[in-house]
Amino acid sequence: MIVFLIDADNLNKPAWIDEACMLLEAEYGQVDTRRAYGSLDNIKALSGVLTKRAIRSFANQSLTKNSTDMALAVDAMEIACQVAKPKVIAIGSGDADFVPLVVRMREKNIRVICVTERGKLATEAVPAYNEVIFVGEDSRKNTKPVKESSPAPSSPIAKKVPAKKVPAKKVTAKKAVTVESVLPVKQLAPAKKEAAKKVATEATPTLTLEQILDAVPALRNGQPLQIGKVTEALHAAKIIGKSASSPKFLRKFEGKFELTPEKQPNHVRYLVA
């Protein structure tokens, strides 16, 4: 089950909510539970998109203290404690007030996503979420949705196998593509480095950008996609080998794809001309 709970006093423009629903559906499928909490004026201003997206509205009393956050938090914990707990809960707000709620839901093994306009995101709230999705005009002008991922573990081979213990005679041109993951490039003999470069070049077929877009048509709309899904599509189309790195492959098309984050990308976006 996918849940989207909206703080309509924070995420309070119809276009933002409509865009958020489209991004969540594209990434995770149908959003089963959709609710919006806010003042009567804000709920009324959003009535069009709430009707369009079949989002239940909960108008709060006008008090000296904002009751919207509390109403959303109570419902979120009630949903999280159901027998059939949701897989994903998206909170449409950039407020730091929700951090304790987010931490508690993550302890229940629920993936929690923040959906917000870039200018309304509290920086101290970012580490609490599994993922942050930006909506609104700023998210298109600047960098695209920031997706958090766990750092990839360092290679045990690089740490445990010193260069001096690898016999030079085993480093052949046939295995040159993988040798560099074990030994630093500077430790390879010049002739063997040339052989590795030659094999790596021959192993990558000459492809056109259209072939990649035909294999992964979802890239054409310019929205970020999970790198894992793109990799599966490229494998299925036999564009890259099963052990090939799709980020490394896509970076060869300079200026055509954006991979985020830069060091250990988990999302890729086609830069539409």
pLDDT tens digits along 148-184: 434 444 444 444 445 555 555 554 554 444 444 444 5
With a CB cutoff of 8 Å and minimum separation 6, the contacts of 66 are 9, 60
Superfamily designation of domain 2-141: 5'-nuclease (3.40.50.1010)
pLDDT digits (tens, 9 = 90+) for 70-102: 999 999 999 999 988 899 999 999 999 999 999
Domain boundaries, the chain: 2-141, 156-203, 209-270
Residue 248 pLDDT class (50, 70, 90 cuts) = confident
Give the dihedral sign, CA 265/266/270/271.
negative
Say if strands 131-135 and 225-226 run parallel, antiparallel, or are unpaired. unpaired
Q: What is the pLDDT of residue 172?
A: 52
Q: What is the pLDDT of residue 149?
A: 39
| The pair of three-digit structure tokens given for residue 139, joined into one six-digit string | 């998210």
Residue 244 pLDDT class (50, 70, 90 cuts) = confident
| Of 157 and 267, the one with more pLDDT | 267
> What pTM was computed for the model?
0.50
